[in-house]
């Protein structure tokens, strides 16, 4: 008698089924990875765009503030105020000065783009009442005022002042103004506030290193009793004005390429600004006509006088400091330039944007 042996069937997946499962899992993982990479790139692009927009806002507001002050000659001056003979600067002709870049913006070399950038110089008076201007730590804060002046250029101040022989200062009595440098025996600020100083005088030096005669300056009689009636002393900074330009920072981005920035009087202000272009608007009848520089161009109706500038148009090219674009891309950006080269070319993976604004000069035109 034979015994009954039940059949045993092996359960599980076949090799073909395993391979199909692996393929499907790989496709799923590739999809997930692709979504992750896309989200990462999108996040990097969004961060770069925010960085660019923030840099543009800060740079434009800074330039606007200074350009709107171009030509400001103090609260004591008026439209009829004359510039004293021998002064270092004639505000009527030099409130805004520009130097056109010499490079070719269509060349995608970064250094060439830097060379194509313009330089903007702004001349304006600033009050001197900050603590770091005052030599005497016991002096009250407030504007530095002139209590006396004579034909030898000797100026008496109401307080001791920090200045160097390279500084450019200005004083006005409402009828005329003088722009000058102090004499060579300057009074630099001292590190030790306990040091004492005895001089509250300076000699106004003008063109040809000669003293400016201030014998015709009017110091109100009330000045002796009330310093608020005395003419105020202003700081111009230098004869070249407040300088905006583009320079290398000495740092490099993730691509190893140099990072540029907007500089204000040799001080780095905004990173990522690669190119600055400036156009100067001149009142021509009822229209505003723009030129790259009044010192280099003429209009149909005659010479272009820098003193006729009423508007400034600013164009900034701002780049992110790191790579966010997939693969090098040669891109062209429209910039303010009246010659044949109207575009700036790049060929890398940095995100860039162009920002343009028009500013009216408040103290001119």
Task: Measure the N-to-C terminal CA separation of the chain; round to a whole number of Å.
Answer: 126
Confidence of residue 2 (pLDDT cuts 50, 70, 90): low
**Are residues 167 and 204 in contact, defined by beta-carbon separation less than 8 angstroms?**
no
Q: Give the distance from CA 260 to its chain's centroid.
A: 13
Q: With 60 as the cut, is the pLDDT of residue 196 above it?
A: no
Q: Which residue has the higher pLDDT, 201 or 261?
A: 261
Q: What is the pLDDT of residue 289?
A: 76
Q: What average pLDDT does range 269-293 have in this prediction?
A: 81
Closest C-alpha to 362, from 57, 64, 62, 56: 64
The span from the CA of 229 to the CA of 321, in Å, is 52
Task: List all residues 6 or more positions away from 126 whose beta carbon is below 8 Å from its beta carbon.
Answer: 234, 235, 236, 237
Q: What is the pLDDT of residue 19?
A: 79
Q: What angle do CA 221, 226, 231 make, to 5 degrees?
A: 70
The span from the CA of 110 to the CA of 140, in Å, is 50
Task: List all residues 6 or more positions away from 18 whose beta carbon is below 8 Å from its beta carbon.
Answer: none
Q: What average pLDDT does range 162-170 have in this prediction?
A: 80
DSSP helix, strand, coil percent of the chain (3-state; round to 5): 20, 35, 45
Q: What is the pLDDT of residue 122?
A: 86
Residue ranges in the chain assigned as alpha helix (H):
15-68, 91-94, 110-115
Q: What is the pLDDT of residue 295?
A: 44
Q: What angle do CA 103, 69, 54 make, to 5 degrees?
A: 60
pLDDT digits (tens, 9 = 90+) for 330-365: 777 777 765 555 667 777 788 888 899 998 887 664
What is the value of pTM for the model shown? 0.73
**Are residues 273 and 249 in contact, defined by beta-carbon separation less than 8 angstroms?**
no
Q: With 80 as the cut, is the pLDDT of residue 261 above it?
A: yes
Q: What average pLDDT does range 253-273 have in this prediction?
A: 89
SS3 287: strand
**Are residues 170 and 76 in contact, defined by beta-carbon separation less than 8 angstroms?**
no
pLDDT digits (tens, 9 = 90+) for 63-93: 999 988 888 888 777 767 888 888 988 776 6
Q: What angle do CA 311, 316, 322 make, to 5 degrees?
A: 170
pLDDT digits (tens, 9 = 90+) for 214-259: 887 888 888 888 888 888 888 888 887 888 999 999 998 877 888 9
**Radius of gyration for the alpha carbons in the chain, expressed in angstroms and rounded:** 32
Q: With 70 as the cut, is the pLDDT of residue 305 above it?
A: no
Helices (H) and strands (E) in the chain, counts: 3, 21
**Are residues 274 and 246 in contact, defined by beta-carbon separation less than 8 angstroms?**
yes
The span from the CA of 89 to the CA of 71, in Å, is 11
């Amino acid at each position: 008698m034979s015994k009954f042996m039940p059949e045993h069937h092996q359960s599980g997946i076949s090799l073909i089924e395993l391979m199909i499962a692996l393929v499907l899992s790989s496709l799923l993982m590739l999809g997930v990875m692709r979504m992750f990479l896309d989200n990462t790139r999108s996040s990097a692009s969004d961060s770069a765009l925010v960085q660019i927009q923030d840099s543009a806002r800060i740079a434009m507001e800074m330039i606007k503030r200074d350009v709107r002050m171009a030509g400001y000659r103090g609260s004591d001056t008026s439209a009829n105020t004359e510039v004293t003979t021998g002064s270092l600067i004639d505000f009527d002709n030099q409130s805004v000065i520009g130097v056109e870049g010499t490079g070719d913006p269509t060349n995608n070399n970064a250094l060439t783009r830097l060379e194509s950038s313009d330089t903007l110089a702004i001349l304006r008076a600033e009050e001197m009442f900050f603590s770091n201007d005052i030599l005497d730590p016991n002096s009250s804060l407030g504007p530095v005022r002139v209590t006396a002046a004579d034909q030898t250029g000797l100026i008496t101040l109401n307080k001791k002042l920090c200045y160097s022989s390279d500084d450019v200062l200005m004083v006005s009595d409402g009828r005329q103004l003088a722009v000058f440098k102090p004499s060579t025996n300057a009074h630099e600020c001292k590190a030790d506030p306990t040091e004492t100083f005895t001089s509250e005088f300076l000699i106004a030096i003008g063109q040809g290193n000669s003293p400016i005669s201030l014998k015709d300056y009017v110091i109100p009689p009330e000045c002796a009793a009330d310093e608020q009636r005395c003419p105020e002393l202003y700081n111009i900074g230098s004869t070249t004005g407040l300088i905006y330009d583009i320079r290398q920072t000495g740092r490099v981005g993730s691509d190893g390429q140099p990072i540029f920035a907007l500089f204000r009087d040799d001080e780095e202000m905004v990173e990522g600004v690669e190119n600055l272009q400036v156009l100067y608007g001149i009142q021509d009848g009822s229209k505003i006509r723009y030129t790259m520089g009044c010192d280099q161009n003429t209009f149909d109706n005659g010479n272009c006088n820098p003193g006729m500038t009423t508007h400034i148009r600013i164009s900034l090219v701002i780049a992110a400091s790191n790579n966010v674009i997939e693969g090098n891309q040669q891109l062209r950006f429209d910039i303010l330039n009246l010659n044949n080269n109207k575009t700036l070319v790049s060929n890398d993976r940095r995100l860039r944007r162009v920002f343009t604004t028009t500013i009216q000069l408040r103290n001119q035109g």
